[in-house]
């Protein structure tokens, strides 16, 4: 049986070790891109991580994307929030940035999961009519 693909990109089973390894690789690649952005003067701490979380959730599922999001928070705190490469107490602005990232990550991962399920349903031929509508009166 052929697995559904999303625009030609093969999907990974959600709880497999390949999914979590892909999450780790995507977090590392996003950290490199974020490092370049910080070197160019950007102060958006989570800018490179949000799109990659969405793509990861599409390809590997919710568990791997959640793992990547939880891995991203201490990584950004340590590497990109000044002073760099040390854990210091968070200011209220930095805590707000982390809270906003958590909110956006939950929303993006949820949206990607809905897209993933839609692709799965469409790959099976769409929704089948049940014969009875939801508003049908049985009297």
Q: What is the pTM of this model?
A: 0.83
* Residue 11: both structure tokens together: 């999907």
How many C-beta neighbours within 10 Å does residue 113 have? 16
Q: For residue 72, is pLDDT > 50? A: yes
Q: For residue 2, is pLDDT > 80? A: no
Q: What is the pLDDT of residues 25-53, one digit of tens each?
A: 999 999 999 999 999 988 889 999 999 99
Lowest mean pLDDT, pick from 77-86, 102-111, 117-126: 117-126
d(CA 127, CA 78): 47
Instruction: Please provide the DSSP assignment of 83-106 as one string.
Output: STTS--PPPHHHHHHHHHHHHHHH
Lowest mean pLDDT, pick from 2-6, 40-44, 112-116: 2-6
Q: What is the pLDDT of residue 135?
A: 61
Q: For residue 1, is pLDDT > 60? A: no
CA angle 58, 77, 40 (to 5 degrees): 80
CB 20 within 8 A of CB 34: no
Give the rounded percent of residues in the chain with a pLDDT score beyond 70: 86
Model confidence band, residue 128 (pLDDT cutoffs 50, 70, 90): confident
Task: Compare 9 and 51 and report the one with higher pLDDT.
Answer: 51
Residue found under tokens 């599922």? 61
């Amino acid at each position: 049986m052929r697995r559904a693909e999303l625009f030609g990109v093969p999907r990974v089973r959600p709880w497999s070790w390949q999914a979590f390894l892909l999450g780790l690789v995507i977090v590392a690649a996003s950290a490199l891109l974020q490092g370049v952005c910080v070197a160019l003067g950007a102060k958006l701490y989570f800018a490179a991580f949000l799109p990659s979380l969405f793509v990861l959730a599409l390809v590997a599922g919710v568990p791997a994307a959640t793992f990547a999001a939880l891995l991203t928070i201490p990584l950004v705190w340590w590497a990109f929030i000044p002073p760099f490469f040390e854990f210091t107490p968070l200011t209220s602005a930095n805590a707000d940035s982390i809270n906003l990232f958590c909110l956006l990550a939950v929303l993006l991962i949820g949206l990607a999961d809905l897209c993933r399920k839609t692709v799965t349903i469409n790959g099976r031929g769409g929704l089948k009519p049940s014969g009875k509508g939801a508003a049908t009166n049985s009297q």
